[in-house]
Amino acid sequence: MELRKLGSSDLKVSLICLGTMTWGEQNTEAQAHEQLDYVVAQGVNFIDAAEMYPVPPKAETQGRTEQYLGSWLAARHNRNALVIATKVVGPGAFPYLRGGPRLTRAQVLAACDASLKRLQTDFIDLYQVHWPERSTNFFGQLGFRASDDQATTPIAETLAALGELVQAGKVRHIGISNETPWGVSEYLRLAREQKLPRVVSIQNPYSLLNRSFEIGLAEFAHREPLPLLAYSPLAFGVLSGKYLHGARPADGRLTLFTRFQRYNGEQAELATREYATLAQQHGLDLAQMALAFVNSRTFLGANIIGATTMPQLRSNIASIEVKLDKEVLAGIEAIHQRFTIPCP
């Protein structure tokens, strides 16, 4: 498994990162542990979680994913060989989380302590802001609508709180997620001017169906450096091809949870059909081709894959061995020109 240095940090992370948001909803604790045992045996050292997981979020399951990871970590003796990442949520309809989550100093500190307890560890390698508190375009929004953010917690306060966690030894490095170019520039500016910790990664969506990261953020990733941790590289499983032609497998996420509409729609279907045809023409598995494309990006830090079954997981991990030739990459670009961002 290839290891890459994560930005300006001292972390070396596997190119494939194990995502965990199905644990506690679609996967049991035993299944989570089976996944962890398998990926570590394959050379994966990077595990990504969040305080709000599993998804879809609800009060009765909140934190269960971190608990499953924590019970596995507690049984291991080589914690230092692993890179454990988790996240503090921004505002949302989660009244069960601290009475309504914000990115204030008090809430960031409290959230970290709660995650540490669930994870049964003394430190978090990468602690990330899950999404901004201000109104901006993320979670499927391409357009920007100006709004009054006077009541929003300043990024400076959030970053200073993260700095306290680093100073206390509870967090080694910090990152951001679902951020915009302006947000990235603010985090970097404040770190310079106020001598606060520098963010070392950005976790945003990136796949054949959503290459919006390339507009503005890829240059930050390359020049700062601030590598991308790509989430939803299979677009909620759409790029496995299992939902083509209206199919809805009983155990599929889009079948079980109708709230997930981000990767639905006519343009997604049409683009996925073309990518499926391209993969078939070159004797490739569609999901592995999609993952291999993400793996090939120069601005990538790690590709966050997730699976609900072991066959899915084994196939996704094996994508590391797939190298796309010039003809396949040219085919991908030709489809991308016709379907540029079908699923923001």
Q: Is 68 a catalytic residue?
A: no
| Side chain identity, residue 109 | L
Which residue has 């499953």 as its token pair? Answer: 68
The residues, any chain, with a CB within 8 Å of residue 203's CB and separated by 6 or more, are 48, 87, 128, 175, 176, 177, 178, 228, 229, 230, 231, 304
The conformation of residue 28, written as its DSSP 8-state character, comes to: -
Among positive and negative, which fits the CA dihedral 12, 17, 21, 24? negative
Q: Is 114 helix (H, G, I), strand (E, B) or coil?
A: helix
Distance CA 140, CA 131 (A): 13
| Side chain identity, residue 244 | L
The conformation of residue 339, written as its DSSP 8-state character, comes to: S
Distance CA 231, CA 126 (A): 15
In 3D space, the residue among 172, 100, 92, 188 whose CA is nearest the CA of residue 131 turns out to be 92
Distance CA 176, CA 132 (A): 9
Among positive and negative, which fits the CA dihedral 319, 71, 109, 147? positive
> Quick check: 231 and 138 in contact, CB under 8 A?
no
Query: Of the listed 38, 53, 127, 263, which one is catalytic?
Result: 53
- Please give the positions annotated as active site: 53
